[in-house]
Amino acid sequence: MDLIIGGAYQGKLAYGKEVFSLSEDDIFICTPDKEPDFTKRCLVHFESYVLRCIREDRPVEAPLRADAVIIADDIFCGVVPMDTEIRLWREECGRALTALSLRADTVTRLFCGLPLRLKG
Amino acid sequence: MTIFFSGGCKNGKSTLAESCACALAAGGPLCYLATMIPHDDEDRLRIRRHVAARAGKGFTTIECGREILTALDHAPADATFLLDSVTALLSNEMFRADGTVDEDAGPRTAEALRELAERAHNIVFVSDYIYGDGPLYDEYTELYRRSLALCDRTLAAACDAVAEVCIGQHILYKGALPL
């Protein structure tokens, strides 16, 4: 499993598509109101799946493929939000992605379209 | 040579950018592209601090809050530029004095910056990293973030060296700094 992390609009998906030769059919865009299709190789906006889990009050469990490419926005920087749900989401994203990074073969952070390899 | 810096606020981006610009100029003409159009006392104080920090470093200041390519008409062909900041330039291009919002400012400014990087002899760009928190912004703030990211990615692709500045240190993503 490979993990790509970074701020909003930093070119994470474009990088993932290029490096892992992903086609449009490989990609699932996560939203809070829909269960991800874990048979897809690449899950984008994984942080939105974390928000879905928060709203349904369940642990962030993801039956990922061995060759999965997980892409997430690092929404856990910035000021502690006043809103309870957003605050829990922010913290849970940090935990969930830290746990994923332990399992990941590679971890890459994108900065202004440029990759920095953090692991692997 | 072209260099792009971004990072958190008050983390030393301008100081590092000034040092790089001075090194690149190597005694030749050095131009500071001042992009902020002051709106209040806080802006004026910020500008005074930047002016004081640059004093004695040999910069000629060119005020250019919009239409950044016109700055090239006011500098020698072999000038080394410091553009501080992409953030303020885009803000001026997008949020107009008459209160309207130019939604096409992002692609237009990104293209102008790419051309500036191509035409300038030496140039150092400074931007701001505003992408690491939750997407809880209104429509126009989100448009601004998306547009600034386009400018940043365009410059990061075009420039010879790219670094993220963090509390006075830097992480190099591309090339090498002239220090």
The alpha-carbon radius of gyration of chain B (Å, integer) is 15
Q: What is the pLDDT of residue B9?
A: 79
Sheet holding B60-63, edge to edge: B60-63, B30-34, B80-84, B122-126, B2-7, B161-166, B169-174
Higher model confidence: residue A101 or residue B150?
A: B150
Higher model confidence: residue A69 or residue B37?
A: A69
d(CA B78, nearest CA chain A) in Å: 28
Measure the CA–CA gap between A1 and A106, rounded to whole angstroms: 7
**B152 chain-A contacts, CB cut-off 8 A:** 112-113
Q: For residues A47-62, b (16+ Cβ closer than 10 Å) or e, as one string?
A: bbbbbbbbeeeeebeb
Q: What is the pLDDT of residue A90?
A: 87
Mutating which of A31, A109, A112, A114 best tests the B interface, going by the most B Cβ atoms within 10 A?
Answer: A112
Instruction: Search chain B and give the residue with CA nearest A110.
Output: B173
List the pLDDT tens digit at each of the 120 positions of chain A.
999 999 999 999 999 999 999 999 999 999 999 999 999 999 999 999 999 999 999 999 999 999 999 999 988 876 677 888 988 998 899 899 989 999 999 999 999 999 999 899
Q: Nearest to residue B14, comparing CAs of B165, B171, B120?
A: B165
